[in-house]
Amino acid sequence: MKQLCLLGISLVAISACAPQSAPPPAASASPAQQVGAPAGSLTNTSRAFDGAYDGSFVLNMSAGSTTLDCPNYRVAPALTIRNGLAQFQTGAGTFQGYVTPQGGLTMQSERGQTFQGQIDPYYVVTGRATGPSCIYDASWKRSKIY
């Protein structure tokens, strides 16, 4: 019995001194977390507008800027709204923000550009993206409900 007790204590002592493996790496953040806090309010949002939206048009409204500074786009990039959080991605960054229950939408990119828009009763989003030198008017229509 005494030998068994000594063996148990020895095993505990050895295991305490053994090198410990490093903890697993943290899971990478989702794109929504990587770009910072979205514009708007999580407490004042609605899932009524959730879905995938296809870009209808983009109009470059930038006065005096060259297309190198403010490129022309044929259509707006895909817009998604999940749990009231709207997002779309451009070469200038990822825009994100919460939709209000009335369909108002304000989004920001990690580079400081903003988008102000509205979703109408027919699930058409229209608005304007502005940055330091570029201004775009854009429109989307919902193509899929989440």
Is residue 18 scored above 50 in pLDDT? no
Tokens representing residue 106 in the block: 């304000």
* pLDDT confidence of residue 67: 73
| Residue-range domain boundaries for the chain | 31-145
Summarize the confidence of residues 82-97 as an average pLDDT. Answer: 93
Angle of CA points 12, 13, 17, to nearest 5°: 115
Lowest mean pLDDT among 12-16, 54-58, 98-102: 12-16
Strands 124-130 and 135-145: antiparallel
Summarize the confidence of residues 5-22 as an average pLDDT. Answer: 41
User: Which of 10-14, 28-32, 38-42, 89-93 has the highest mean predicted lDDT (pLDDT)?
Assistant: 89-93
* pLDDT confidence of residue 45: 94
Is there a contact between 55 and 119 (Cβ–Cβ < 8 Å)?
A: no
Quickly state the pLDDT bin for 36 (edges 50, 70, 90).
Answer: low
Residues near 72 by Cβ (< 8 Å), separated by ≥ 6?
A: 58, 60
Is residue 109 scored above 70 in pLDDT? yes
Greatest C-alpha distance within the chain? 91
**Mean pLDDT, the chain, whole residue set:** 80
**CATH number listed for the domain at residues 31-145:** 2.40.128
Query: Judging by beta carbons within 10 Å of its beta carbon (0-12, 13-18, 19+), is residue 88 exposed, middle or buried?
Result: buried
Summarize the confidence of residues 97-110 as an average pLDDT. Answer: 96
Tokens representing residue 29 in the block: 């953040």
Q: What is the pLDDT of residues 61-82, one digit of tens each?
A: 998 777 778 888 889 999 999 9
Angle of CA points 96, 110, 70, to nearest 5°: 95
Residues near 81 by Cβ (< 8 Å), separated by ≥ 6?
A: 49, 50, 51, 53, 87, 99, 146
d(CA 35, CA 141): 25
Is residue 13 scored above 60 in pLDDT? no
